[in-house]
Amino acid sequence: MTRTFRTAAVVGAGTIGLSWTALFAAHGLSVRVSDPREDLAEAVTEALEQYAPHLAARGLDVTGLADRVHIAADVTEAVHDADVVQENGPERVEFKQELFAALTRQAPAHALLLSSSSAIPSTAFTGQLADDDAARVLIGHPFNPPHLLPLVEVVPGRRTGEDAVQAALDFYASVGRTPVVERREIAGFVGNRLQNALSREAVYLVEQGVVTPEDLDKIVTNSLGLRWATVGPFLGSHLGGGPGGYRHIVEHIGASMPDPGDGPRRPAQTPEARERLIAAVEKAYGSSTYSELAETRDRRQLAVLDALDGARPTGPAAGTTTPKEEN
């Protein structure tokens, strides 16, 4: 049975929490926000004004957006009748242990308890909870800002109930996100581990004098960034193999790539492991022909290029960029 979500509590109103607040309200939820910051009301007002045009551009009705957001005096008030709680506090195990112990006491028994944790699995901070309480706690990790980037990594803990996992999928889908379940807890989850792996190699290449930071960014934004925005690494490789698909890439082109070296995250190199991986990719994408998948990829890449061209800055500031927090 699909749950109904009418009221959301946002605990922690930093960059992530404020973005969640605007998204939830834009999807018609009543949102209660809690944070000890003294400027909470002003921060919420500013965020809603800033994000409303973004949400409207995505086809959401932002009329009366602020009317659906309420400033709570404390966590207890924020969660007392919530259907779902989205926690966005500091990345400290001890903090989350104390907070989720309080949330399980103060939120209704049916409330889904979600954490935006970027790296800490929920099992690390639910050990002291009763089984019934731990069963409704799991990770719902977004990428910043969550009102724009669709991904939410849904990561159950060891004692999270399957009904809570499904409820999390239903909830995030109801607010227009793309939730993906990760069935094994691992520090940093998947998105940040991929991001960090690329970042480590980028730093190495710059340190070795191979390329400048600005040229490395040009390489990514004019190749891998465009490709991965439309197909992702595995489908991209599957298409890169032509009609032979991922098998051709692994067995032929892949053999010519430099050895990544030994390390704890080095993929298995046995023929059996390679065959299992090839079979998994072929199972994922084998129902469509190469030409069908390639046409979809190219159409999406053209759309991205057109969008980037349309958003290209002009004037004196055209060559400047403003760094943004990433998550």
| Residues with catalytic roles | 153
The angle, 0 to 180 degrees and rounded to 10, between the axes of the packed helices 232-240 and 290-310 is 120
- Asked whether the beta carbons of 180 and 140 are under 8 A apart, the reply is no
Determine the number of helices (DSSP H) and then strands (DSSP E) in the chain: 13, 8
For residue 123, what is the DSSP state? G
CA distance 184 to 200: 23
Rounded to an integer, what is the distance from CA 65 to the centroid of its chain? 24
Q: Tokens for 315?
A: 């004037």
Which is nearest to 12 in space by CA: 29, 36, 31, 45? 36
- Residue 73 phi/psi, 5-degree rounding, is -70, -30
β-strand pairing of 137-142 with 151-156: antiparallel
Contacts of 176 (CB under 8 A, 6+ apart): 23, 27, 58, 60, 150
The H or E element that residue 140 is part of is: strand 137-142
Q: Is 254 helix (H, G, I), strand (E, B) or coil?
A: helix
Report the Cα 80 to chain-centroid distance in Å.
Answer: 27
Taking a C-beta distance cutoff of 8 angstroms, is the pair 172, 143 a contact? no
DSSP string of 25-62, one letter each residue: HHTT-EEEEE---TTHHHHHHHHHHHHHHHHHHTT---
**Chain position carrying tokens 């009329």:** 63
13: amino acid identity, one letter: A
Quick check: 71 and 44 in contact, CB under 8 A? yes
